[in-house]
C-alpha cells in the first residue's frame, strides 16, 4: 500500500543515515586474502515488497562476494535433485559453533549439523554435483540465481575463488574428514572447487533482494521450488543461518536470514518482503555488524517479525 511504501522510505533514509555515521563498523574478514582489502565504509540495503516494488538505500548497486549466502541457493538445488534423501547426509539442528568448526564432526560420524555451516554446505555441494562436473553444477547454480533475480548479469569472481582455494585449509580438513566417514562422494578437491566458486558469486543488494523473492511465499514471485520447500528453507535460515549468532539474530530481528563473510545478509519477511543488506565489517560471529543492526531496525519499524 502507499502508506507502507511511505513508511519504508522513511525507515530506509534513517537506516542509511545511521549507517553512514557509525564509527564501529566491525572487522572485514581477512582469512580470504582477496576479501581483506574491501573498504569497510560501504553499506547498502534493498527491499522487494510483495507488490513487486523495490526500494533501496546506500551502496545497493555495488557488487560484493555473496560467500555463504550462496548456501541457500545450493540447498534449493540439492533438495531439488535428491529430495529428502539429502537429510541422511546432513542434519537440521543449529550447531552453536563457529561457521568453520570441525568439533562436532567426530562425535557425529562425519554428518554435519546443518546445511549452512561450512561442513554441511560442503556436503550439500557434493550432493548437488551428483555425478556432474563442477562446471555443469556452477552453470546450473548461476542459471538458478539469474532466473530468481530476473537478471543475467550475475557472475563468479575467479580471483576470489582462487584466493580461497589457495588458503582454504580448514575447508579441506572438513572435506577430507567427512570423506573418511564416507560422507563425500567426490574427491575433496573437486567438491571444494565447486564450493569455492559457488561462494565467489558476486551480486549487488538489488540483485540479491530480487534473487530472494522465491523464498517470500507470495503470489506473483518467481516460483523456483515447491511451497513446502520454501517453508523449510526459511525454517533452516531462522535456526541456522547465522551460525553461533543464529539465536541472537532470531531474537533481535525475528526473521529467517542467511549471512556471508563478505558482509552480505539475505533476509526474508514471509509473505511481505525479500531484503538484502551488505556492509563488509563483521561481528564476533562472522556476520555483518551494520547489516544485522540495519535489519533489526527495519523489522521492528515495519512490524515484520514472524513473531508479531
List of residues contacting ligand GLN (CB under 6 A): 67-68, 99-100, 118, 164, 171, 199, 260-261, 286
Q: What is the 3-state secondary structure (H, E, C) of 196-217?
A: HHHHCEEECHHHHHHHHHHHCC
Query: Is 28 strand, coil or helix?
Result: strand
- Chain residue at closest Cβ approach to ligand GLN: 68
Q: Is 68 a catalytic residue?
A: yes
Q: Which three cell numbers stand for residue 135?
A: 562446471
Cβ distance to ligand GLN smaller for residue 110 or 286? 286
Binding-site sequence positions for substrate: 68, 118, 164, 171, 195, 243, 261
Q: Compare residues 11 and 127 and give the one whose CB is closer to ligand GLN.
A: 127
Between 16 and 115, whose beta carbon lies closer to ligand GLN?
115
Active site residue 71: yes
Of 11, 28, 71, 160, the active-site residue reads 71
* Farthest CA pair distance, the chain: 57
Residue whose CB is less far from ligand GLN, 198 or 204:
198
Of the residues 123, 124, 160, 261, which is catalytic?
261
Catalytic status, residue 251: no
What minimum distance in Å lies between the beta carbon of 263 and ligand GLN? 9
Task: For residue 131, give the DSSP letter.
Answer: T
For the bound state, the minimum distance from the C-beta of residue 285 to ligand GLN, rounded and expressed in Å, comes to 10
Cβ contacts of 206 within 8 Å, gap of 6 or more: 46, 54, 56, 60, 61, 276
Q: Which helix (H) or strand (E) holds 145?
A: helix 134-149
| Tally of CB atoms within 10 A around 270 | 18
**Looking at the annotation, which residues are catalytic?**
68, 71, 195, 243, 261
Amino acid at each position: 500500500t502507499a502508506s507502507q511504501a511511505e513508511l519504508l522510505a522513511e525507515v530506509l533514509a534513517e537506516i542509511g543515515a545511521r549507517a553512514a555515521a557509525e564509527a564501529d563498523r566491525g572487522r572485514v574478514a581477512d582469512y580470504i586474502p582477496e576479501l581483506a582489502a574491501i573498504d569497510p565504509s560501504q553499506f547498502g540495503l534493498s527491499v522487494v515488497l510483495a507488490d513487486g516494488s523495490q526500494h533501496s538505500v546506500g551502496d545497493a548497486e555495488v557488487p560484493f562476494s555473496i560467500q555463504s549466502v550462496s548456501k541457500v541457493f545450493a540447498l534449493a538445488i540439492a533438495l531439488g535433485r535428491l529430495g529428502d534423501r539429502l537429510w541422511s547426509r546432513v542434519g537440521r539442528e543449529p550447531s552453536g559453533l563457529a561457521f568453520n568448526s570441525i568439533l562436532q564432526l567426530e562425535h557425529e560420524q562425519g554428518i554435519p549439523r546443518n546445511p549452512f555451516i561450512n561442513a554441511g554446505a560442503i556436503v550439500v555441494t557434493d550432493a548437488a554435483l551428483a555425478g556432474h562436473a563442477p562446471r555443469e553444477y556452477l552453470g546450473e547454480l548461476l542459471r538458478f540465481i539469474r532466473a530468481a533475480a530476473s537478471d543475467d548479469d550475475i557472475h563468479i569472481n575467479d580471483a576470489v575463488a582462487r584466493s580461497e582455494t589457495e588458503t582454504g585449509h580448514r575447508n579441506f580438513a572438513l572435506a577430507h574428514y567427512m570423506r573418511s566417514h564416507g560422507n563425500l562422494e567426490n574427491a575433496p578437491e573437486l567438491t571444494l572447487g565447486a564450493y569455492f566458486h559457488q561462494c565467489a558469486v558476486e551480486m549487488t543488494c538489488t540483485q540479491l533482494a530480487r534473487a530472494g523473492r522465491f523464498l517470500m511465499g507470495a503470489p506473483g514471485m518467481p516460483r523456483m521450488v515447491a511451497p513446502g520447500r520454501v517453508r523449510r528453507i526459511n525454517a533452516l535460515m531462522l535456526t541456522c543461518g547465522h551460525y553461533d549468532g543464529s539465536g541472537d539474530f532470531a531474537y533481535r530481528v525475528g526473521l529467517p536470514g542467511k549471512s556471508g563473510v563478505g558482509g552480505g545478509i539475505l533476509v526474508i519477511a514471509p509473505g511481505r518482503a525479500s531484503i538484502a543488506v551488505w556492509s563488509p565489517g563483521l561481528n564476533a560471529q562472522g556476520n555483518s555488524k551494520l547489516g544485522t543492526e540495519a535489519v533489526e531496525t527495519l523489522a521492528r519499524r515495519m512490524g515484520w517479525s514472524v513473531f508479531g
